[in-house]
Amino acid sequence: MNTLAIFGLQLTLSLVVWSLLAKWLLTPWLENKSPQEALFWLTLPHAFRFMGMVFLVPGVVSQGLPSSFAIPAAYGDLVTGILALLVLIAIRTSWAGALALVWLFNIVGTADLLSALSRADAVPYLGAAWYIPTLFVPLLLVTHFMIFARLLRRTR
């Protein structure tokens, strides 16, 4: 099996596992929470997105990793992580603009992940950072989807 096929298989299976865990465990648990608290918990994993800066660290990623992937992925994750941290603070302090900030964070974060995933040319050069897109990106996509679902439910 070639590298791209292995990557696709791992990404897909991680997405399935995280989706099932979200459906079976996380969704029922969040139903007992206030809308703000549910958004807090769904946003929390994204506050660690600064870890995406590893795409810029030589030795962690292969030398051939295209900078056209590494730079936008690293800084997109950093911006999303900062936005997520601001969301957490805004929710905990009951800031009036918290909901708008959640929308901004969720749109930026989702776009960042989808943009990075569209770059198959980067896959052979991920090196030790391989586990970010194959293990953590599916978790982040699932929580982004859950946040969108809650935001849209609130607007109805």
Q: Note the pLDDT of residue 128.
A: 96
Q: CA 5: distance to chain centroid?
A: 22
Residue extents of the structural domains in the chain:
3-30+37-155
Please give the DSSP secondary-structure letter assigned to residue 33.
Answer: S
Q: Which of 45, 65, 42, 40 is nearest to 54 (CA)?
A: 65
Is the pLDDT at 30 greater than 90? The verdict is yes
Q: Which of 113, 120, 119, 106 is nearest to 136 (CA)?
A: 113
**How far apart (Å, rounded) are the C-alpha atoms in residues 86 and 65?**
31
Residue-wise pLDDT for 84-140, tens only, equals 999 999 999 999 999 999 999 999 999 999 999 999 999 999 999 999 999 999 999
pTM of the model: 0.96
3-state helix, strand, coil in the chain (%, to 5): 85, 0, 15
Residue-wise pLDDT for 43-52, tens only, equals 999 999 999 9
Phi, psi of 58 (to 5 degrees): -60, 140
Phi, psi of 96 (to 5 degrees): -60, -30
Please give the DSSP secondary-structure letter assigned to residue 62.
Answer: -
- Cβ atoms of 139 and 107 closer than 8 Å: no
Phi, psi of 21 (to 5 degrees): -65, -40
